[in-house]
Structures are given as C-alpha cells and as structure tokens.
Amino acid sequence: MTPHNRATKSDIAPVVLAPGDPLRAKLVAEKFLEDARLVTDVRNILGYTGTYKNTPVSVLATGMGGPSIGIYSYELYTEYNVESIIRIGTCGGLQPTIGVGDLVVAMTASTDSNWAHQYNLKGTLSPSCNSGLFLKALTVAKSLNVPCHAGMVFSSDLFSSYNALGSDSWKAWARMGALAQDMETYALYCTAAWTKKRALSLLTMTDSCVTNEGLATDMRFAGLYPMLEVALELASEVG
C-alpha cells in the first residue's frame, strides 16, 4: 500500500487505464469490465480491477492536473509493477479539423508547467508516448472507425477558461501545431520516461476552443465510449 492507494500489489493489473474523474473509473469498471472489484478508494479516488476479453485490466482515477497524475502514475510504476498506463482523458480542441467527440492520440506533450525541473536537465524536455502503444492505438481506432488525430498536445497548469493571460492564449500553441489542451499528459509522459515504463494518452475532444462547440451535458459520459473502447482493446492486446 501507499499513502494514496490501499490496493495490494496483486490487486493491480500490469496495464492500467487512467481517467481523471473517479466516476469515469467507476463507469469503465461497471460497464466494460467483467468481475470488476473496488481495490482502492483513498480520498475517493476510485480504483477497480477486472478483466476485458480475459485480460486483467485496472482502472484508477488520477484527479486533475500534472502533480496529481504524477503521484498516481509514479506509485503505479514503482510500487505496483505496472508496465503500461493508458490515460483516458478529455481535452479542449485547438484545431478546426478536430470535431467534438473525436479521439486525439498524444505523440508528445508541450507544457507551461515546471514539472520537469526535478530531473535537473540543461534544456527543455519534450516527452513522448511509447511508440508501440501509439501504433497499436492508431490501428485499433481505424478498425473501430473512430475519428482519430495524432500529434502534439499542450498540457497546461491553467484551465483555459480561467487563464489570467486571456481566453485566447491557446492560439499561440495552436499556431505551433498543438492539437488539443489537457492538464496531465506531460507529467504522465515524464514519469513514464523516468521509470522506464510505457504510457499513452488518449483524449476525447469535448470542447473546441476554435468553434466553442462541445458535448451536450447528457453526452459527457456516453460521448467518451469510442475512446474507452479503443483503450480497452489496446489494453487487451498489451496486457
């Protein structure tokens, strides 16, 4: 056990799906996993383990922001022998070609966070996903006919709507090719690199910064199903 996870090592599968929202973890466990059981609920951060197509899969919420997913991913990698973490998150779209509900697969992440200062690097780190997970995810998305975009994402410490720099600050990142903005991918990819484990961030674009369109309130869970199906198929292949 850790200060943030009461599960034992045997309770956690080698591959973990990582939503930010605890209720999304509960949804995945109840709707998609077989024989799912609650293995941790410290601070109401819910974690479950079950099977998908006879493959053990865990799903553990990570909360909001880089520091939060940094804690949970580090503990999973170092204390629970987890080999792969697949983030199943949401994002704001930064490009007009990305439709509401489309899947964004993060090849790499830029950031305004100081997360990487801990590594004492003499430059700017641009962490990337695991190439094996990335290529498999694209293949799975194509087979399921899920609209998919792959490239750089921008992970910010600031929620775009509450940014004191102004609501248009995202445009500079979009100009440099960022597909979408989230808050967690950068810290996850850094932690995976440091621990020499695998990570991939799958994001459903729920709100477009370009068009101001977004998923309807009653679709905030159901609209994520295509991403969840891609993640689960991927987990069954690599688990």
DSSP class of 220:
T
Assigned domain for 18 exists: yes
Q: Is residue 4 one of the residues assigned to a domain?
A: no
* Structural domain count, the chain: 1
Q: Which candidate in 112, 157, 207, 218 is catalytic? A: 207
Does 95 fall in a domain? yes
What span, in angstroms and rounded, lies between the C-alpha atoms of 167 and 187?
Answer: 24
Angle at alpha carbon of residue 30, lines to 26 and 31, rounded to 5°: 115
Contact (CB, 8 A) for 103 and 141: yes
- One digit per residue, pLDDT tens: the chain, 239 residues? 899 999 999 999 999 999 999 999 999 999 999 999 999 999 999 999 999 999 999 999 999 999 999 999 999 999 999 999 999 999 999 999 999 999 999 999 999 999 999 999 999 999 999 999 999 999 999 999 999 999 999 999 987 666 666 668 889 999 999 999 999 999 999 999 999 999 999 999 999 999 999 999 999 999 999 999 999 999 999 98
Residue 163 placed within a domain: yes
Instruction: Determine, yes or no, domain membership for 2.
Output: no
Write down the pLDDT at residue 165. 62
Catalytic site residue 207?
Answer: yes
- Say what the pTM is: 0.96
Range of the domain at 58: 9-238
> Is 126 a member of any domain?
yes
Phi, psi of 43 (to 5 degrees): 60, 25
Q: What is the pLDDT of residue 237?
A: 96
Q: Has residue 51 been placed in a domain?
A: yes
Contact 169, 163 (CB under 8 A): yes
What's 48's domain CATH number? 3.40.50.1580
pLDDT number for residue 163:
65
Confidence at residue 166, expressed as pLDDT on a 0 to 100 scale:
61
Tell me if 168 sits within 8 A of 161, measured CB to CB.
no
Please check whether residue 1 lies inside any domain of the structure: no
